[in-house]
Structure 1
Amino acid sequence: MDQDDRRGWTLLAPPFLYALALLAAPLLTILVFSFWTQDYLTIDRTLTLANYEEAVTDPLYRQLMLRSVTVAGLVTLATVVLAYPVAYFVSFHVDPGRKSLWLFLITIPFWTSYLLRVFLWKVILGYNGVLNSALTGLGIIDEPLTFLLYNVNAVVITLAHAFAPFAILPIFVALEKIDRSLLEASRDLGEGRLRTFLRVTLPLSMPGVVAAVLIVFIPTIGDYVTPALVGGPGGLLIANMIQTQFLGLNNQPMGATLAVIAMLVVTVIALAFVLVTRRWTRA
C-alpha cells in the first residue's frame, strides 16, 4: 500500500473498531446465547435449537410477534400519512426564510424526555384524563371512554406522536430536492394541482417516504417502554416479552432467541419493502 492507502486505513480503523465493538460484538453475543439453555442461574452452553422450536411453536410468542408487526405497521402508516402534509406545507407554502423556524418547532418534542411524553399521553388518554374530561364537560359523552388507554390504540397514538419528527424530516428533504420547474412544466401541459401532485411531486418524493417508513417501522417494533406504560395486558409487544425473559424469568437464552427472531422478521419486511418500492426510489 502507498502512503495515501495507509493514511486512509488509519483514518478508517478507529470508527470501524468502535462500530465492531459496540454493534457486531453484542449482536454476536445475542446470537450465541440463543443456542444455549438456562435453568435459573445455570447456563448450559450445549448448542441446541430448543429455544427456536419453542419460540416458533408457542402460540403466545407468535401472537406477540404478529401484534408487534401489526402495531408497527399501523404506527408507520399513521405517522407517514400525517407527516407528509406537514412536510409538504413547510416545503411548498412556507417562506424560505422561515423554513428553519418551522423545522425548529417540529423538533421541539425532542427537548423533553421520551418517558415524560409517554406519561403525558397517559394523562391525556386516562379514564379521568384531559380528553375524557373535555368530552364529558361538553356533553358529548355521558361516561368516560374506556378504550383510549391500556390497549393497542394507546400504543399506536403514543408511538405515532413520538416518531412524527422522524417521518417529517426525511420527507421534507426529499420535497426540497424537487425541481420546481418540473411542476411548472406539468401545469403548462394542462395538468391540474391534483394530477401534478400524483404524477410529479409524489413519485419524486418517494425516497423520503421510503426513508420515513423504515426510520419509523424498525425502532417501533422493538419499543417496550410505551407498551409497558400505556398498552396494558392487551397492548404488550414482543419487546416486552424479551425484557421479561431477561429480567423477570431469568431466561437469557430465550430472550436472545426472541430478539434474533424479531431482528430477522424486521429485516425481511424492510428488505421486501425496499425491493417493492425500488423503482420509485430509483426515479
Structure 2
Amino acid sequence: MGILDASPRVRAAALTAPPFLYTLLLLAFPLGAVILISFMTQQGVALDTTFTTANYQRIATEPIFGALIGRSLLVASLVTLVTVVLAYPVAYYVSFHVRPERKALWLFIITIPFWTSYLIRVFLWRIILGFNGVVNTALVSLGIVDEPLTFILYNLNSVIITLAHAYAVFAILPIYVALEKIDRSLLEAAQDLGENRLTTFLRVTLPLSIPGVVGALLIVFIPVIGDYVTPELMGGPGGRVAANMIQIQFLQLNNWPLGAALALVVMMVVGLVAALFGLVFFRWLRRRA
C-alpha cells in the first residue's frame, strides 16, 4: 500500500518527517552539542569531558563578561529602536500614499540594497563614515567643521548606524504588512466622527499596526545581538560586544567550552528579554480587548 492510500495520520507523518528531521539535524543536534561542550574544559587542543560548571562560574564572576553582555543588550536595543522608528514612516508611506499598482515596485526598490553582500555594505559604511570619508569630506568642504569628526567611526555610534541600515528591511516589511491589513473604512469613520489626521493616526492606525511593530522589534533585536561582524569592523576596541568574545573564544583562543557557555548565557538572556516583552505585549492586548 502506498503513502497516498494510507490513513490521514500516516500521510501527515510522512509529509512532516523530512522537515522535522532537517530541523533536528541542523538545530537540535548542534544546540545539544553546544550545551554538552559548555560543561567541559579545554586542555590544550583536547576537551576534558569531566562535567564542570567552571565556565559558567567564570562568566558570573569576571566583570568583563557582564559588561559585554550589557553592552550587547544596549546596542541591540538602540539599533532596534532606531531601525523601527525610521522604518515606520517608510512602511506608512508605501502603504497609504503609494498607488496600489506601484507598491510592489517600491518594495522591490527597498530590498535592492540587500541583494549585495553584507560585508560589502559594512565596508561601504566605513568609507562613508571614515576620517576622510564622504561625511567628513562634505562637512569640512561646507565649513561646518574645521577638522574631520572622529566619533562617527570605530565606536558604538558607527556600529548602531551600520546595523540600523543592515536590518532596515526586516523592520519595514512586517510593519508594512500590518498597515496593509488595516481596514481603510475605519480611518474614514474616525474622520467622519471629527478626528483629524493626527488623532486618527494615534488612535486608530498606530494601535492597529502594533502587531507589525512588535514583530519588527523582535525580528531586528534577536539577530542584532548575535552579530559580531559589524562590531568587529566598525566598532574598534571599544565597540566589541559579547558576540565578539564568543568568536574570540572559538577561533582565536581555542577555548570552545567557555565560548559555548557564553553563547548559551547570551541565548538565555535574549530569550528572557523576548519573553518579558511578549508578556507585556499580551497584557496590553488583553487590556484593549
Contact 1:206 1:281 in 2 (8 A): no
Q: Superposition pairs for residues 131-280 of structure 1, below 5 Å?
A: 131-280=135-284
2: CA distance, partners of 1:281 / 1:196:
19
Contact 1:207 1:281 in 2 (8 A): no
Gaps of 5+ in 1: none
Deviation of 1:195 after TM superposition, in Å, equals 1.2
Deviation of 1:187 after TM superposition, in Å, equals 0.7
Q: 1:104 aligns with which of 108, 118, 121?
A: 108
Contact 1:206 1:280 in 2 (8 A): no
1:74 and 2:78 are equivalent in the alignment: yes
1:24 and 2:28 are equivalent in the alignment: yes
Give CA deviations for 1:73-120 in whole Å, capped at 9, x if unaligned: 000000000000000000000001100010001101111100000000
1: CA distance, partners of 2:37 / 2:201:
50
1: CA distance, partners of 2:92 / 2:206:
10
User: Which amino acid in the other structure matches residue 111 of structure 1?
Assistant: W
1: CA distance, partners of 2:275 / 2:203:
25
Deviation of 1:42 after TM superposition, in Å, equals 2.5
Deviation of 1:280 after TM superposition, in Å, equals 5.0
Deviation of 1:279 after TM superposition, in Å, equals 4.4
**What SS does structure 1 have at the residue aligned with 2:153?**
coil
2: CA distance, partners of 1:205 / 1:28:
38
Paired position in structure 1 for 2:3: none
Q: 1:42 aligns with which of 42, 46, 50?
A: 46
Contact 1:37 1:43 in 2 (8 A): yes
Deviation of 1:199 after TM superposition, in Å, equals 1.0
TM-score by length of 2: 0.96
Q: Which runs of 4+ in 1 moved over 3 A?
A: 279-283
TM-score by length of 1: 0.98
Q: 2:99 aligns with which of 68, 71, 95?
A: 95
2: CA distance, partners of 1:241 / 1:265:
16
2: CA distance, partners of 1:111 / 1:222:
21
Gaps of 5+ in 2: 1-5
Contact 1:35 1:51 in 2 (8 A): yes
1: CA distance, partners of 2:22 / 2:135:
47
1: CA distance, partners of 2:8 / 2:262:
45
Paired position in structure 1 for 2:10: 6
Deviation of 1:281 after TM superposition, in Å, equals 5.5
2: CA distance, partners of 1:210 / 1:47:
40
User: Which amino acid in the other structure matches residue 147 of structure 2?
Assistant: E
**What SS does structure 2 have at the residue aligned with 1:222?**
coil
**What SS does structure 2 have at the residue aligned with 1:107?**
helix
